[in-house]
Chain A
Amino acid sequence: MMLRNTLAAIFLASCLNLAWAGLESFDFSGNVEEQRYKDLLAELRCLVCQNQSLVDSDAELAHDLRLEVYELMAQGRDDTQIRDFLVARYGEFVLYDPPLKPSTYLLWAGPFVLLALGIIMLFRTIRQRRQLHESEFSAEEQERLRQLLGNNPSEQEDRQ
């Protein structure tokens, strides 16, 4: 039991190590500031390894941009100002959360539009099928069907 706990602790520690391997150690005035720094980096894209955030990326540019973000924070700039600083240089592509504006309407609304279309189509199909079942045959036709299929009403019931 003891051994297992120790192993688990070592494993967890190594995971954490991996996650923060690329991060430089900057001095922060407190935990809050450090968390703010990491949260901010996590929503900024590294332009070299485009599917990584500035927290994850070990690219040279990511190092430089982390330093830049840290220094901007040290100068007392707020998150919006820091984001604007990067957007002014690298474009909105650096933001993992693109702002809502005409060119991004499709991006934001697209999945919901598709979902709505899917639901509409689903309900239409269900309704059509139901109507089909109810009105497919008249009473006489159903009687005739039964006869054709072998005069066995109970078996027909089972099949329905």
Chain B
Amino acid sequence: MMPSFVRYLTPLVLFLALAALLYKGLALNPREVPSPLIGKPAPEFTLPELKDTSRQLSHTDFQGKVSLLNVWATWCVSCRAEHPLLMQLARQGVTIYGLDYKDSREDAQRWLQRFGDPYVANAFDADGRVGIDWGVYGTPETFVIDQQGIIRHKHIGPLTEEAIQREILPLIQQLKGDKG
């Protein structure tokens, strides 16, 4: 027979283990679905540029530099909230591409005029098809892409000061270091 203290402590230990598990679960965000694209080459696409329709943007544009691809739209409220942070990143010299997702060209151009344009170029994805290939399920989303055009990180939801300082910028530094 088990010693009695083991018998009495077992339920308590089981309860504490379950409580710890559920407590951890509370802190997880179920909306953050890990992307299967991490570590894979950027999905192929060719889309017209937002401002300059004669120009085209494609996955090959990511080659040779560390860059961000920010998925946004004018109808997306949290994109408005993260916009100042993108402006700040652009000022710090981070290369940011945009994927304007299921948007109207006029609205998007007006938005960039009014709030500032942090993007080196914007792919205009009118019907969201390229978005599906990138596994976009809600705007904003931000991908970090390395010099070889490999996706290294995906941030789901609006960027925050904390996410930029703790994840995005260190990763960019590290990826830039890898090259040299």
Contacts and interface: CB of A to CB of B under 8 A. Distances in A.
Given A50-B30, A64-B132, A91 B36 contact: yes
A93 B131 CA distance: 17
B137 interface: yes
B31 A89 contact: no
Contact of B132 (A48, A50, A65): A65
Nearest to B1: A128
A50 B36 contact: no
A7 interface: no
A64 B137 CA distance: 10
Interface in B14-44: 30-31, 33-37, 43
Interface residues of B, number: 19
A61 B137 contact: yes
A120 to B, nearest CB: 14
A89 B36 contact: yes
Given A64-B128, A64-B132, A89 B33 contact: no
B37 A89 contact: yes
A75 to B, nearest CB: 14
B116 interface: no
Contacts of A90: 33, 35-36, 135, 137
A106 to B, nearest CB: 12
B119 interface: no
B34 A91 contact: yes
B33 A91 contact: yes
Contact of B135 (A48, A91, A92): A91
A97 interface: no
Interface residues of A, number: 15
B167 to A, nearest CB: 19
B102 interface: yes
B45 interface: no
Interface in A32-89: 47-48, 50, 60-61, 64-65, 68, 87-89
A48 B36 contact: no
A88 B39 CA distance: 13
Given A89-B36, A89-B37, A90-B33, 11 more contacts: A47-B33, A47-B138, A48-B137, A50-B31, A64-B128, A65-B132, A68-B132, A87-B36, A90-B35, A91-B33, A91-B34
Interface of A: 47-48, 50, 60-61, 64-65, 68, 87-93
Interface of B: 30-31, 33-37, 43, 102, 127-129, 131-135, 137-138
25 contacts: A47-B33, A47-B137, A47-B138, A48-B137, A48-B138, A50-B31, A60-B102, A61-B137, A64-B127, A64-B129, A64-B131, A65-B132, A87-B36, A89-B36, A89-B43, A89-B133, A89-B134, A89-B135, A90-B33, A90-B35, A90-B135, A90-B137, A91-B35, A92-B36, A93-B34
